[in-house]
Amino acid sequence: MAEAKGVLLPAYVVADESGSMAPYQRELGDGVASLCEGLRAEPMVAAKLRLAVLGFSDDVQVRLAVADMRTETTVPRLVIRGVTNYQAVFEDLLQRIPGDVKWLRGEGYRVHRPVVFLLSDGQPTDGSSWHAPHAELTDRDRTPTAPNIIACGLGDAWAQTMVKVATRPEFAFLAKSGTDVGRAISEFFHSLTMSLVASGHALNSANPQLVVNRPDQFTMAIDEVGR
């Protein structure tokens, strides 16, 4: 058997593009740009990651397909549109992640469990219809490539929803009450970049693990639920 080219961590940024995010389009754009620049500034880390950026509202649209940020020169652009359909998100990831992992393995890499960073400023507009695809996506028996999901809510997002979306209680965060949404978006992308850089470094250690940093101005959602 040929030796693997290396071990990769696929990372998906899934950003809410619904109409309520319109006042914060600049912060979203700046955040995505800073993420890309941050990974390009760490080529040794970027070599171990493959980044995808997805925008969601009525459906999911690819803003950046799984890419090596050492060579990717474009900056993904998020587009404000539609409502907040969570079902579309998890149905898309159910198809996308296994396909991407299969492709990366076909390219000669071993692949760590993927990670999804979801950012939303509102409640799902599709009721509970997202529960079934989410359950299938996160069930490691039914979906061997089931990702770790980090859920960050701001604006009108509820703590209970973020806890249900995240794959572990400590992976669910909610912007503190009264926090400026634009600032919270900036903090999310800063924390995301730091988490990916730290995770990339950890892949070299004897105990490779996913590192998740809580964004400033955010609290753990489980603490809000427990009140």
Question: Is the pLDDT at 95 greater than 90, yes or no?
Answer: yes
State mean pLDDT over 36-57: 95
Give 50's strand partners: 10
User: Which residues have C-beta within 8 Å of that of residue 107, sequence separation ≥ 6?
Assistant: 5
At how many degrees (to 10) do helices 181-202 and 25-40 cross? Answer: 20
Question: Is the pLDDT at 6 greater than 70, yes or no?
Answer: yes
What is the C-alpha separation between 163 and 186, in angstroms, rounded? 21
For position 226, what pLDDT does the model report?
67
Name the DSSP class of 59. S
Closest by CA position to 82, among listed 53, 117, 124? 124
For position 37, what pLDDT does the model report?
95
Q: Tokens standing for 78?
A: 């998020």
Q: Tokens standing for 92?
A: 């898309």
The DSSP result for 101-128, as a single string, is: HHHHHHTT-EEPPPEEEEEESS--TTTT
Write the pLDDT tens digit of every residue in 125-179. Answer: 999 999 999 999 999 999 999 999 999 999 999 999 999 999 999 999 999 988 9
Looking only at the bridges linking them, the beta strands covering 7-16 and 148-153 are: unpaired
Global pTM?
A: 0.95
Question: Is the pLDDT at 185 greater than 90, yes or no?
Answer: yes
The DSSP result for 183-200, as a single string, is: HHHHHHHHHHHHHHHHHH
Write the pLDDT tens digit of every residue in 215-226. Answer: 998 999 998 886
Three-state secondary-structure class, residue 138 = helix
Name the DSSP class of 14. E
For position 3, what pLDDT does the model report?
76
Q: What residue type is 13 in one-letter code?
A: V
Closest by CA position to 69, among listed 95, 88, 46, 102? 46
Cβ proximity of 172 and 149 under 8 Å: no
Question: Is the pLDDT at 204 greater than 90, yes or no?
Answer: no
User: How many angstroms from the chain centroid is the CA of residue 217?
Assistant: 18
Neighbour tally for 203: CB within 10 Å: 19
User: Which contiguous run of DSSP H or E holds residue 72?
Assistant: none
Three-state secondary-structure class, residue 137 = helix
Closest by CA position to 39, among listed 71, 87, 17, 80? 71
